[in-house]
Every structure is written in structure tokens, then in C-alpha cells.
């Protein structure tokens, strides 16, 4: 008998700090597991005297080292009760499903039940995804009612182009769901960023493009934010800050 489960790294109520819905009250459901590590983002953590490098969500990315800290839900009702009890004002916020890479779980019946229930309750649901995972929108039409922040990784992530760009998946997002691009830029590689962004986004001209500065702390972001701001103004892109990092730095659950 196969036991279904959904790994949850974090569940908390806060303010969306990035992208299209920046500033919106939101409940964040952070699922465990990811297919990328993004060592180029330079966030270091040390476990048992060994140092690793990844992105700022390393606790949801590194399954080997952190899966024991994730809470495994085997019943959608239990997770829905936890979600409802975490929202201070009933049905008055967005639901943001993030990770790690949450779309690794798109065929999981528990996640599908949760999305269906929340959408029927009137919640707006968005996914924060690296956009490498293909969704079968025809087989799972509930995803057509969701919004996708397509955080496609650039070469500054340290991942290979083959691993980080999936054009068939991007085409599906553009055809079936409301989506927007969200890129992380740093001042050191910003000169190359425009060609990369153009190559990724040009087949999908109707999807808005947001750019935001690299950094897991306010101090690191300050090294890049002016350059990213000027880059957005020059190329007619939307600038996105990272509100939660400005205010809380590396603190989790915000």
C-alpha cells in the first residue's frame, strides 16, 4: 500500500515581499524538495562542520540534510485545518505555495485537494516556481486557476542552462495560466543579464518581467539594488524589491 504525503517545510502568515502581488497579506505554504541548488547565489550554511552553498531557501532545498525537519502531512484535511487556523482574517489573504520547488508535487492528490478546496473558498493561489517542471494543464485543469511566478534562474545561479531552462514548460504557462517572470540579478553579472533574459522571455511577449536584487540580507541586497533599479529603468522591466529581507534579513517564517 502506497502512503501519500506532502512535505511541508514552513507554514506562516506574512506579507508578500516580491513580484506582482508585493505588499499583499499572504499565507505561505513552503513545500520541501527542489531539483536545483543554485550555488551561485552564495548563501552558506554549516552542518557538522561542513559548509554548503545554495540559495536562501536552503532548508527547503536540501532534502538530505533538512527533510527530518519537514512536517509530513498524510491527510489534506489536517493541513487545511492548519492553514485556516494560521490565517487571522478568514479568506482575506492570498495563498502562496513556494519551496524549494513546489511543482515537484503537482500530481500529488493531497496538493490537488488542497488547491481545489482553497480556490472554491475564494482564495487567490500563486506558485513561486523555477519553471523547470511541466504541468499537464489539461489533465489537472485546477492549475489554470492559479498564478505562477516564473523565477527562471540565470547563469548567476551557478546552474547549467540545460537544468534551469525548460521552454516547453514556459510555453504551457504562457498558454494556460496567468504568469509573470521574476529574475534575480546581481551587479557583477548584470551586463550579461539582458541577453539571457531576452533569450528566455522573447517567445512569450505577454508575460510581464520583474527583476530583483540578489541577497539574503539587507546588506547584501544594497550591493546590487541600485544596479538592478537602473537596469529595469533602461530595459522597461518592473523592479521588485524583497520587502521581507529588507525588514527581517535572514529570519525565517516571515
pLDDT digits (tens, 9 = 90+) for 103-140: 999 999 999 999 999 999 999 999 999 999 999 999 99
| pLDDT, tens digit (0-9, with 9 covering 90-100), for 173-209 | 999 999 999 999 999 999 999 999 999 999 999 999 9
Confidence of residue 3 (pLDDT cuts 50, 70, 90): low
| pLDDT score of 51 more than 90 | yes
Alpha helices in the chain, H assignment, sequence order: 58-61, 63-66, 76-86, 109-120, 161-164, 167-176, 190-201, 218-222, 225-235, 243-248
Confidence of residue 1 (pLDDT cuts 50, 70, 90): very low
| pLDDT score of 223 more than 80 | yes
Task: Quote the pLDDT of residue 91.
Answer: 64
- Rg of the chain, C-alpha, whole Å: 18
Task: Quote the pLDDT of residue 216.
Answer: 85
Instruction: Report how far residue 9's alpha carbon sits from residue 6's, in angstroms, rounded to the nearest whole number.
Output: 10
Instruction: Report how far residue 220's alpha carbon sits from residue 213's, in angstroms, rounded to the nearest whole number.
Output: 9
The owner of cell 514556459 is 170
Instruction: Report how far residue 119's alpha carbon sits from residue 111's, in angstroms, rounded to the nearest whole number.
Output: 12
User: 12 pairs with which residues across the strands?
Assistant: 28
Helix (H, G, I), strand (E, B) or coil at 145: helix
Amino acid at each position: 500500500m502506497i502512503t501519500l504525503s506532502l512535505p511541508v517545510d514552513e507554514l506562516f502568515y506574512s506579507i508578500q515581499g516580491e513580484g506582482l502581488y508585493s505588499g499583499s497579506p499572504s499565507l505561505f505554504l513552503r513545500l520541501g524538495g527542489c531539483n536545483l541548488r543554485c550555488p551561485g547565489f552564495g548563501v552558506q550554511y554549516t552542518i557538522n562542520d561542513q559548509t554548503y552553498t545554495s540559495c536562501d531557501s536552503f532548508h527547503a532545498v536540501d532534502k538530505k540534510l533538512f527533510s527530518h525537519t519537514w512536517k509530513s502531512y498524510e491527510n489534506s484535511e489536517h493541513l487545511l485545518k492548519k492553514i485556516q487556523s494560521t490565517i487571522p482574517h478568514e479568506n482575506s489573504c492570498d495563498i502562496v505555495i513556494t519551496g524549494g520547488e513546489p511543482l515537484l508535487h503537482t500530481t500529488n492528490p493531497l496538493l490537488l485537494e488542497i488547491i481545489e478546496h482553497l480556490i472554491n473558498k475564494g482564495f487567490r493561489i500563486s506558485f513561486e516556481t523555477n519553471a523547470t517542471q511541466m504541468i499537464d494543464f489539461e489533465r489537472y485543469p485546477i492549475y489554470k486557476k492559479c498564478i505562477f511566478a516564473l523565477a527562471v534562474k540565470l547563469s548567476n545561479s551557478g546552474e547549467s542552462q540545460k537544468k534551469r531552462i525548460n521552454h516547453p514548460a514556459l510555453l504551457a504557462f504562457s498558454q494556460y495560466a496567468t504568469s509573470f517572470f521574476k529574475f534575480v540579478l546581481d551587479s557583477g553579472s548584470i551586463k550579461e543579464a539582458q541577453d539571457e533574459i531576452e533569450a528566455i522571455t522573447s517567445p512569450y511577449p505577454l508575460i510581464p518581467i520583474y527583476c530583483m536584487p540578489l541577497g539574503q540580507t539587507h546588506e547584501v541586497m544594497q550591493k546590487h539594488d541600485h544596479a538592478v533599479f537602473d537596469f529595469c529603468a533602461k530595459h522597461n522591466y518592473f523592479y521588485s524589491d524583497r520587502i521581507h529581507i529588507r525588514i527581517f534579513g535572514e529570519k525565517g517564517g516571515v
